[in-house]
Amino acid sequence: MPKNYTLFNMTERKVRVRFAPSPTGALHIGGVRTALYNYLFARQHGGEFIFRIEDTDSNRFVPGAEEYIIESFKWLGIKFDEGVSFGGNYGPYRQSERRDIYKQYVKVLLDAGKAYMAFDTPEELDAKRAEVQNFQYDASTRMSMRNSLALPKEEVERLLAEGHQYVVRFLIQPGEEVHVDDLIRGDVVINSSILDDKVLYKSADELPTYHLANIVDDHLMEVSHVIRGEEWLPSAPLHVLLYRAFGWEDTMPRFAHLPLLLKPEGNGKLSKRDGDKLGFPVFPLEWHDPKTGEVSSGYRETGYLPEAVINFLALLGWNPGNDQEIMSLDEMVSLFDLSKCSKSGARFDYVKGIWFNHQYLLRQADIDWTPEFDKVLRANGIESTPEREAQVVAMMKQKVVEYTDKLGNKKKRNVSFVSDLWPLCDFFFLAPQTYDKEGDKFIRKNWKEGTAAEMTELADLLEGLSDFSVESLKQAVDAWAEAGEKKPWNPWRVCLVGTGQGPDMYELAAFLGKVETVNRMRKAVAMLA
């Protein structure tokens, strides 16, 4: 038998968990949450977090997927301790590089009579499925098939000598109650009679299936807990039986099967189509499919902060036991408890995700908005400085933005992405070119007979100021307005902005400076006269 690592008491076992995606495309946001929960569990228990690539299905391999997954976690700030691209003492960590290891363990099962070789062709299997309703390769059918249990030894040897392709199937004994001790769901019991003789290995590519590779890798890498999605729960009894077949039951990891991420309306598993329909990403980064050329949006490119995405995901299916919503990664580590994970699916409330991003943006210093804000400005032909950009952020970050959702509904929300700023603040950098006195309700209401003369008088006042700070402007304009019993602020806004939006007028004028402020006022007077 291949090397068996030292057995030790589970109570003394070092926590080691893994995230093991397949490089078959973009990383789904549900996979990110699974990785996050593994990370939190490992950090809370002073354990280790392993990154493994499960690439045994060569037909589904997508170039660039592995690199995409690694980049996603770098952006999210979820750090691995060992694995593909990170090193470690339990490698290789890419399953395609572990063929010889799996072959050894396949032989162990065959020699022990716990598995058998099956030579059935795809055509023969299709014929059997057509013949037998709800056909399943198990105790009730295996002796009527072409496998090493049903065929004479000589026939098996001949088929092997002639190079016939085969698979290795696990021998399931029917009628046994298999218990899965799940940290979230408790004792899950499944009768082995409903299980089929799963394929563990394929001679065609000399690679194992997920089931065998996963068990062998988890054992050899001394994984203590397997925290994965609910979709793997039906496979858990098979995995328990495989641990038993190898004699590894004493060091079998503890299982925890996480609730599914559901569609926003709550009916069914979250899919990319839901995101396309409602206008939210389901991938951490933008994904360019090399096979179809299709481009899918990502949380990073949409403008989400990684901390917001992590916080949002953490609370989808887990309750920390208090009313706290905003949590740092360190706070999540201290509070995380698998027993507080829900057994039922978690509705993907993407609107709440936007709220989280808003909260995290507000917690940033204004200057920290400017790298992304500068990109937005440059895309609109504007060049500015980080200092001035930060000033705009300070004035506009608490504003409300109007938008149209994917379903055509007009809605309002707080500024939640840096890109939200541009439609709210173009006037900081571009003077109004037109003034729609007829079509703009704000202008129509606030530009009356005599307004032009009033704005000219105010422009003259401002032109004479030597100090154009907010404080100086407020003192001068307030005194002038009070003395003349005037209310100039809305017409003044029309002059500087062109409509009824924008920040405090003194802040705006101070930002624009005396020359620009006065020029805009005189231009507006000329055009609206």
- Alpha-helical segments (H) within 363-504: 366-379, 386-396, 421-425, 441-446, 451-463, 470-484, 489-497
Number of Cα atoms under 13 Å in the Cβ half of residue 268: 4
Q: Is the pTM of this model over 0.85?
A: yes
Strand partners, 188: 180
At residue 11, the pLDDT reads 54
Q: What is the mean pLDDT of residues 283-288?
A: 97
Does residue 196 share a domain with residue 118? yes
The string of pLDDT tens digits covering residues 146-201 is 999 999 999 999 999 999 999 999 999 999 999 999 999 999 999 999 999 999 99
For residue 345, being part of any structural domain is answered with no
Question: Mind listing the pLDDT tens digit for each residue in 410-434?
Answer: 999 999 999 999 999 999 999 999 9
Model confidence pLDDT, tens digit, residues 463-484: 999 999 999 999 999 999 999 9
- If asked whether residues 77 and 222 sit together in one domain, one would say yes
Report the CATH number that the domain containing residue 155 is assigned in CATH. Answer: 3.90.800.10
Establish if 314 belongs to a structural domain.
Answer: no
Q: Are residues 132 and 200 in the same domain?
A: yes
50 and 105, same domain (yes or no) = no
Average pLDDT value for the chain: 94
CB 357 within 8 A of CB 417: yes
Q: How many CA atoms lie within 13 A of 265 on its CB side?
A: 6
Q: Are residues 201 and 222 in the same domain?
A: no
Among candidate residues 79, 272, 441, 514, the one labeled active-site is: 272
Q: Please tell me whether residues 227 and 246 are part of one structural domain.
A: yes
Can you give the CATH number for the domain in which 470 is found? Answer: 1.10.10.350
Report the C-alpha gap between 4 and 2 in whole angstroms: 6
| Stated length of the chain | 529
Same domain, 369 and 409: yes
Write out the residue range of the structural domain in which residue 45 sits: 10-84+218-262
Tell me the C-alpha distance between 458 and 481, whole Å. 9
Q: Is 406 a catalytic residue?
A: no
